Chain A
Amino acid sequence: MEKTTFIARIGRIREFLLKPQVFLVLVLIASAVMRFIAWDWTPLLERDSVGYVNAAAVWAATGKYTVPQFPPLPCYLIKLLIQLGLAPETAARLYAFVPGCLVPVVAYALAMESTGNRRIARYAAIFFIFHPTLLFFSVMPIRDSLYILLAGLCLWIGLRAVRYQENRLWILYACCCALAWCCRHEGMEFLPLTALILFIELIRKRYTWRKAALHFLLVLLITPTLWFTIGFLTGGMEPFVLQSALVMNHFRDFIE
C-alpha cells in the first residue's frame, strides 16, 4: 500500500514537472544556469566581440556609429544598455545572454509545431540548453545570439502561418524576418524561403494560388520596409547605404 502511494506520488510529481508551462520554466532556469557556467568558462572576450563592445562604447560616448559595415541593431541595443548605466562589457554580455536563454523555449515550440510530439519537443529543448555553439553565442556579445532567437521565432511563426493561413500570422512572420535581417544579412534568405514554402504548399494543394500570392506579397512588402525603417532609425542613413550595397552583393552572388 505504502509502495503504491509512493509510486503514485512520484507519478504526480513527474506529471507536474512535465506540464508544458512548468517544463518551460525549468528549461529557462536550467538554460540560465548553464549560460552562467559558460560565462565563467570564458572570462575573456573573443575577437569579434571586442569589436562590438568598442563600437557600442564609442557610439554611446560620441553618438557616432563607427562600424557601418555591420547591421546597427545589435550595437544599438548594447548602446541602450550602456546608456542605462551598465559597463560596456556587461551590457554587451547581457545583450547576448538574454536571447541565448530564450532559444531553448523557441526550440521547444518549433519542435512541437513541426513534429506534434511533446516528448521530441522536450528532448530538443534539453539539447538546446547544452548545445556548445549556442552556449558560446550566449556568452559572447556577437550578433548571432539574437539572430538565432529571431530566426527560430521566424520558423515557428512561419510554420503556424502555413498551418492556420491567417494574415496576422504572416504579418508577424514578416516582422520577425525583418528583425532577423537587421541582425545578420543572412536573414534575407527568409524571403526566397517563404516563396519555397508556399510553393511546396501549393503543390500539396493546401493553399490556393490567390492566397499564396497574397501572403507572399505581404511578406515581400513588410519585410524590406521594416528592415529599412529599423536600420534607418537605429543607425541612420550611412550604414543603411553601405548595407544596401552588401545586400545587393549577396543577391548577385545568389543569382550567379
Chain B
Amino acid sequence: MGAFFHKFFQTFFQQIPNGVCLVFAIGALVSTVFMLAKRHHRGKLFVILWAAFLFMGLWRCAKGIISIRYASIMIFPMVIATAFGCRRGEAWWRLLCRYFRCLPSWFGRVIALGCLIGCTGGALVIAHYKLNIQSRAFTTICRTVSDYRKLYPDLRVLVKHNDTERFTYHTQVPCIPLEDNQREFFAQGLNGITDPDGHFLLVVMERHLKGLEPRRDELRPGAKLSRVRAKRYRQSKRKNLDIYFYENPLSFSRIAAVSPAPPASPDDLLGPGAFGPSRSAAAFRSRPVPGGGGFRFTFVVSAEAVSGKAAAVEVRTVRRQGNGEVPTLQLRCPVKEKGIYRGVVTFRTPPGPFAICLDGLGTTVRLEQFRLTRAE
C-alpha cells in the first residue's frame, strides 16, 4: 500500500508537473482555486474538461508512468487553466478596485499581460535549457569520437545498452553495449572485451558517482584507461558527461615467419612440453600453473586449414572450482586465411592453479611458440 501511495504522489507531484512544465502546473493550481471560487463557471463545458482530465490524471497516478511523455495529454488542461487564471486575475483586480477606489483599474490588464509574459518567458527559458543541454552533450561526444577516429580508425564506442542505437546513428562508429553505467559493470564491460583489434572510447552520461572508474587491479594488466573529457552538462540534476579512452592490452596479428625461439628463461612459467606432445590440433591445454595476479601469455600459431568465415582462435583460462571447472574467455580473434599469427593476451587470475586452453575454431592450428610470464 505504501509503495502504491509513493508511486501515486511521485507521479502527481514530480512527473506530471515536469511533463507539463512547472510554470503551467503552478498556474493551473492557482487557476483551479479561481475556478472553484466562481460559481457560474461550473455550468459550462469547462467542468466536463476538468472531469475528463481528473480521470486521466488519476489513472496515470494510480498506474504510474515511466516517462513524462505519458503525461503529455495533461498539457491541454494545465495550459488552458493557466490562461483562464491570467484572465481571472484581471477580473479579481477589478473586484478589488470596486472596494479600494484608490487602486488603478488599468493595473488589471498589466497583471494579465504580466502573467502572459511571465509564463511565456518561463516556458521559453525551460525550452532553451532542456533542448540545448542534451544537444550540447551529444555534440561534445560526436566531436571527441571524430577526433579520436582520425587517430585510431578501428575505434569503437562502449555505451550503456539502451543508448547503442543512438550513438551508432550519430557517431557512425560501431558501438558495444555496456550492461549499465554502474561501477561494477564498468570494470566488467572493459574486461569483457576479448576482441584484440581496436581502441575503445567509453562514454558515460550519468549522475555524478564518485569512484566510477575501476581500480587499476580490477582491469587487465597492461590496460590503460584515461579520462579524456569531463563535463557537467546538467547542473540541476548533477549529470556528468565523462569520456574515457581505453587502450586494449590484447593483440593478434599476422606475421611473415616464425622467428627463432628465444632461449629458455627462468621467467617462463610454462616451459617446454607444457601443452603435451601434439603440436597440430584443434585444441591445446597446458598443465596447471599456480595462479594469483597478472600474467602475459605470448604465442605464435600457424593456421593450417581455415574453413568458413567464423574461423577463429580462442584463448581461455580454466580454473578448478569444487568439482567443476570455470573457463574464462581471454581472447578471441578471427582467422581469415592460412598463415602465421602472433598473439599477446594479458589477464589477471585469482589465487589457485589454472590452465591455459588454446582452441582453433573452424581451423587447425599448429602451436609454434608460447610463453607465460608475470605481468604487473
For B72, what are the chain A residues with a Cβ–Cβ distance below 8 Å? Answer: 133, 137, 144, 147-148
Q: Flag if B166 contacts A127 (CB, 8 Å).
A: no
Known A45-B166, A136-B131: A127·B138 in contact at CB below 8 Å: no
Cα distance A134–B59 in the bound complex, in angstroms: 22
Instruction: Find chain B residues with CB under 8 A from A120 CB.
Output: 80, 83-84, 86-87
Q: Scan residues 26-85 of chain A and give those whose CB is less than 8 A from a CB of chain B.
A: 38, 41-47, 50-51, 53-54
Partner of A45, one of B19, B46, B130, B169: B169
Asked if A189 contacts B131 (CB within 8 A), the reply is no
Q: Flag whether B126 is at the interface (Cβ < 8 A).
A: yes
Closest to A155 in B: B76
Query: Contact flags (1/0) for B231-248 with A, using CB distance below 8 Å?
Result: 000000000000000000
Q: Could you tell me if B120 and A127 are in contact, using CB atoms closer than 8 angstroms?
A: yes
Q: What is the bound-complex CA distance between A124 and B116, given in angstroms?
A: 9
Q: What are 8 pairs between A and B in contact, CB < 8 Å?
A: A43-B135, A46-B134, A110-B76, A126-B116, A132-B126, A136-B130, A139-B131, A254-B63
Tell yes or no: B203 within 8 A of A by CB: no
In the complex, the 3 A-B pairs of residues with the closest C-beta atoms, listed nearest first: A132-B127, A123-B83, A124-B83
A114 in the interface, Cβ–Cβ < 8 Å?
Answer: yes
What is the distance, in angstroms, from A133's C-beta to the closest C-beta of chain B? 6
A-contact bits for B79-95, CB 8 A (1 contact / 0 none): 11011101100000000
In angstroms, Cα B116 to Cα A189, docked, is 32
Which B residues are CB-close (under 8 A) to A11? none
Give every chain A residue within 8 A of B70 (Cβ-Cβ): 186
Q: How far is the CA of A135 from the CA of B170 in the complex (A)?
A: 21
B301 within 8 A of A: no
A128 within 8 A of B: yes
Q: How many A-B residue pairs have CB under 8 A?
A: 156
- Of the candidates A46, A47, A123, the one having the most CB atoms from chain B within 10 angstroms of its own CB is A123
**Cβ-defined contact, B170 with A44, below 8 A:** yes
Given A127-B82, A133-B19, A148-B72 in contact, is the A114-B45 Cβ separation under 8 Å? yes
Q: Which of A2-10, A192-200, A213-221, A224-232 contacts B (4 or more CB under 8 A)?
A: A192-200
CB distance from A1 to the nearest CB of B (A): 24
A41 and B135 in contact, given A46-B166, A197-B51 (Cβ under 8 angstroms): yes
Is the CB–CB distance between A50 and B80 below 8 Å? no
A130 interface contact, C-beta 8 A: yes
Extra contacts besides A132-B21, A142-B69, A148-B72 (12): CB < 8 Å: A38-B127, A41-B135, A42-B131, A43-B139, A44-B142, A107-B80, A123-B116, A127-B123, A136-B130, A144-B72, A253-B63, A254-B59
B162 interface residue (CB < 8 Å to A)? yes
Counting CB contacts under 8 A, is B252 at the interface? Answer: no
A200 and B48 alpha carbons, distance in the complex (Å): 8
Q: A114-B49, A189-B59, A193-B56 known; A130 and B162 CB under 8 Å?
A: no
Q: A115 to B84, Cβ gap below 8 A?
A: yes
Determine if A130 and B80 form an interchain contact, defined as CB atoms under 8 angstroms apart: no
Q: Knowing A47-B166, A135-B127, A196-B52, say if A113 contacts B45 (CB, 8 Å).
A: yes
B306 within 8 Å of A (CB atoms): no
Q: Which of A116-158 contact B (CB under 8 A)?
A: 116-117, 119-121, 123-124, 126-128, 130-137, 139, 142, 144, 147-148, 151-152, 155
Please determine whether A200 and B51 come into contact, CB atoms closer than 8 angstroms: yes
Contact string against A for B residues 179-196, beta-carbon threshold 8 Å, 1 for contact and 0 otherwise: 000000000000000000
In the complex, residue of chain A having the shortest beta-carbon distance to the beta carbon of B120: A130
* Complex: A155 Cα to B49 Cα, angstroms: 8
- CB neighbours of A51 from chain B (8 A): 165
* Chain A residue contacts of B119, Cβ below 8 A: 127
Instruction: Confirm or deny: A24 has a beta carbon within 8 angstroms of a beta carbon on chain B.
Output: no
Shortest Cβ distance from residue A32 to the other chain B in the assembled complex, whole angstroms: 15
Whether B84 contacts A159 by the Cβ 8 Å rule is no
A123 touches B165 (CB 8 A): no
Q: B80 contacts A110, CB within 8 Å?
A: yes
A203 to B142: give the CA distance in the assembly, Å.
60
CA distance A43 to B134 in the complex (A): 10
Residue A12 CB within 8 A of the other chain: no
Residues of B within 8 A of A197 (CB): 48, 51-52
Q: Which of A41, A107, A193 has the most CB of B within 10 A?
A: A41
Q: When A148-B75, A186-B73 are in contact, do A130 and B127 touch as well, CB less than 8 Å?
A: yes
